[in-house]
Amino acid sequence: MADKNIHTPLTEAVYYILLSVLQPLHGYGIIQNVKELSGGRLILAAGTLYGAINNLLAKGWIAAAGGDERKKEYIITESGKAVLENELNRLEELVKNGRDIMRGK
């Protein structure tokens, strides 16, 4: 059954979390990666991150990838990749339409 939420626009935090777990990564690593990817503009608090992780696990967009009790690692699932790809396409369309309008096309 296809994920009916595949076309749901993502929050910036969820977008960066999904990008971060294209490779297995633990919570602190995700926080650091999101900060780096956003140029320091987006800094996730631990509570925000773990709330998002629980939500993403429940949706099946990420899965546990091992690690120990203190450093659980997470990885994006195929469903999560589809959601991320859809979001990239949506964002590209937004930027293209905005640029076209700004240029008078």
Residue 3 lies in a domain: no
Q: For position 4, what pLDDT does the model report?
A: 62
Count of the separate structural domains present in the chain: 1
Residue 68 lies in a domain: yes
Domain that holds residue 59: 12-102
Residue 1 lies in a domain: no
Residue 58 lies in a domain: yes
Q: For position 1, what pLDDT does the model report?
A: 42
Q: What is the CATH number of the domain that holds 28?
A: 1.10.10.10
pTM of the model: 0.89
Distance CA 98, CA 69 (A): 46
Pull the structure tokens for residue 54. 């629980």
The pLDDT tens digits along the chain (105 residues) read 445 677 789 999 999 999 999 999 999 999 999 999 999 999 999 999 999 999 999 999 999 998 777 789 999 999 999 999 999 999 999 999 999 999 987
Quickly list H helices, 11-77: 12-20, 27-37, 46-59
